[in-house]
């Protein structure tokens, strides 16, 4: 249910933080403790009264297993925690290794798109 709400209703950072917190079954007090911030601040973030600092936003994203881009509504699909982990690893690869990896990923994605297009199993 929360996935659909996040996709359909989230317009602001505050909405996504609140919905992801609820999806993880965390109370504001629990999440605030993980941030090491007063509950009052978290409430103000979720009520869109104030915006968190970049440092707090990064910690929020880490605790909620999502990306800053998703929290900031720059993307609509929440990346998996595995993709987030791989992203950091990919950044450490050599330019050539990244190029080979991206070419392979493009080939796999395009192959799946063709299979879907022609309904091939």
One digit per residue, the tens of pLDDT, for the chain of length 121 reads: 555 544 444 467 778 888 888 888 989 899 888 878 888 888 888 888 888 888 888 888 888 888 888 888 877 777 777 777 788 889 899 999 999 999 999 999 999 888 877 777 6
C-alpha–C-alpha distance, residues 3 and 7, integer Å? 6
pTM metric for this prediction: 0.60
CB atoms near residue 16 (< 10 Å): 23
- Is residue 87 located within the same domain as residue 42? no
Residues 69 and 102 in one domain: no
What is the reported pLDDT for 94? Answer: 95
**What pLDDT does 93 receive?**
92
Domain that holds residue 111: 82-117
Residues whose CB is less than 8 angstroms from the CB of residue 113 and which lie 6 or more positions away in sequence, other chains included: none
Kindly report the length of the chain. 121
CATH of the domain at 30: 1.10.260.40
Q: What is the per-residue pLDDT across 46-77, written as a single tens digit (0 to 9) for each?
A: 888 888 888 888 888 888 888 888 888 877 77
Q: Do 54 and 101 belong together in one domain?
A: no
Total of domains in the chain: 2
């Amino acid at each position: 249910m929360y996935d659909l709400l996040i996709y359909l209703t989230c317009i602001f950072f505050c909405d996504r933080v609140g919905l992801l917190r609820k999806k993880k079954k965390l109370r504001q007090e629990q999440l605030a403790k993980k941030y090491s911030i007063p509950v009052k601040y978290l409430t103000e973030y979720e009520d869109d009264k104030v915006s968190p600092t970049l440092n707090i936003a990064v910690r929020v994203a880490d605790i909620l297993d999502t990306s800053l881009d998703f929290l900031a509504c720059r993307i609509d699909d929440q990346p998996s925690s595995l993709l987030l982990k791989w992203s950091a690893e990919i950044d450490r690869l050599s330019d050539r290794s990244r190029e080979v990896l991206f070419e392979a990923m493009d080939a796999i994605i395009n192959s799946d798109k063709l299979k879907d297009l022609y309904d091939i199993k």
